[in-house]
């Protein structure tokens, strides 16, 4: 049963507001009294995903679903898609532009960081269509 | 140690968070790459960076770091200070370089994000 679902819109190339959705999610989870370590993991996954979307994905959404036994984050964008998923998951591999690197992003750590912090991580992508990521965080630890 | 001691060690100016100088800090991380901080999640840590962008504060927020230090006397833009105030994140400016700032803190017992010295 889903207790709560919230959808945040993420705008491509908008670095002023990039990360706002994840900060909102973090504050929301704080207010319901979740374990700070779990909040941090969820916040990092949301933020890395949000930044990926702003840098590569064009417009999209970051959604959170809160259930009694788990929390799920969904990223859904209509960007260019990822040609080689296996390569994209490798630490250090990045296709980010230099201007993003100057802002401290594009180190090729986003997707590996997300996978590391989520209990379940699934990604699907189609070139020309976009990318979807689902990250599950168990509440039964 | 308390954040107030870090202010002394780094001869820092407190831009935001004068009311939070009692916060306990035990670990530190220094990076201009946000993912390095996001990958090394830690409690009671300080985040040193030379990047004065709004994303430095958002990174601090999601990674739950206790304070941000901008090194080499770098003054952040007003929007960065506003966000830090709004979200209650202490922000310091140190005149020392990243290397020297880290050295001064490490010499006084602040460990890396993983707790190693």
Domains of chain A as residue ranges with CATH = 2-138 (3.30.565.10)
Could you tell me the residue range of the domain that residue B92 belongs to? Answer: 3-107
**Residue A140, pLDDT above cutoff 80:** yes
In-domain check, residue B115:
no
Q: Decide which of B115 and A19 is more confident.
A: A19
Number of domains in chain B: 1
Q: Assess contact for B23 and B2: CB atoms under 8 A.
A: yes
**Residue A1, pLDDT above cutoff 70:** no
B contact test, residue of A8, A14, A18, A19 with most B CBs within 10 A:
A19
Please name the member of B35, B55, B64 whose beta carbon is closest to the beta carbon of A107: B35
**Residue A28 contacts B where some CB pair is shorter than 8 Å:** no
What CATH number has the domain bearing residue B97?
3.40.1390.20
B contact test, residue of A16, A18, A47, A98 with most B CBs within 10 A:
A47
Please name the member of A18, A40, A48 whose beta carbon is closest to the beta carbon of B64: A40
**Nearest one of B116, B20, B115 to B68, comparing CA atoms:** B20
What ipTM is given for this predicted complex?
A: 0.86
Chain A residue closest in CA terms to B42: A37
Distance CA B40, CA B73 (A): 25
In-domain check, residue B15:
yes
- As a residue count, chain A comes to 141
Q: What is the pLDDT of residue A141?
A: 65
**Residue B115, pLDDT above cutoff 90:** no
In-domain check, residue B19:
yes
User: What H or E segment, with its residue span, contains residue B47?
Assistant: strand B45-49
Chain A residue closest in CA terms to B65: A40
Going by C-beta distance under 8 Å and a sequence separation of 6 or more, which residues neighbour residue B87?
A23, B57, B61
């Amino acid at each position: 049963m889903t207790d709560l679902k919230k959808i945040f819109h993420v705008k491509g190339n908008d670095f002023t507001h990039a990360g706002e959705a994840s900060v909102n999610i973090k504050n929301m989870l704080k207010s319901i009294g979740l374990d700070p370590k779990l909040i941090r993991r969820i916040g990092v996954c949301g933020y890395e995903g949000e930044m990926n979307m702003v840098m590569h994905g064009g417009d999209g959404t970051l959604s959170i679903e809160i259930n009694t036994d788990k929390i799920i984050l969904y990223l859904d964008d209509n960007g260019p898609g990822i040609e080689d998923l296996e390569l994209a998951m490798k630490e250090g591999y990045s296709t980010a532009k230099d201007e993003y690197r100057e802002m401290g992003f594009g180190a090729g750590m986003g997707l590996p960081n997300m996978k590391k912090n989520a209990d379940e991580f699934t990604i699907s992508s189609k070139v020309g269509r976009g990318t979807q990521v689902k990250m599950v965080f168990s509440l039964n630890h | 140690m308390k954040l107030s001691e870090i202010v002394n060690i780094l001869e820092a100016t407190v831009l935001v968070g004068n009311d939070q100088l009692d916060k306990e800090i035990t670990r530190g991380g220094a990076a201009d790459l946000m993912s390095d901080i996001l990958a090394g999640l830690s409690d009671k840590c300080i985040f040193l960076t030379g990047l004065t962008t709004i994303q430095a504060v958002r990174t601090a927020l999601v990674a739950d770091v206790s304070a941000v230090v901008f090194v080499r006397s770098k003054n952040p833009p007003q929007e960065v200070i506003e966000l830090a105030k709004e979200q209650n994140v202490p922000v310091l400016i140190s005149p020392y370089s990243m290397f020297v700032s880290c050295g001064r803190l490490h010499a006084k017992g602040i460990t890396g994000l993983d707790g190693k010295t």
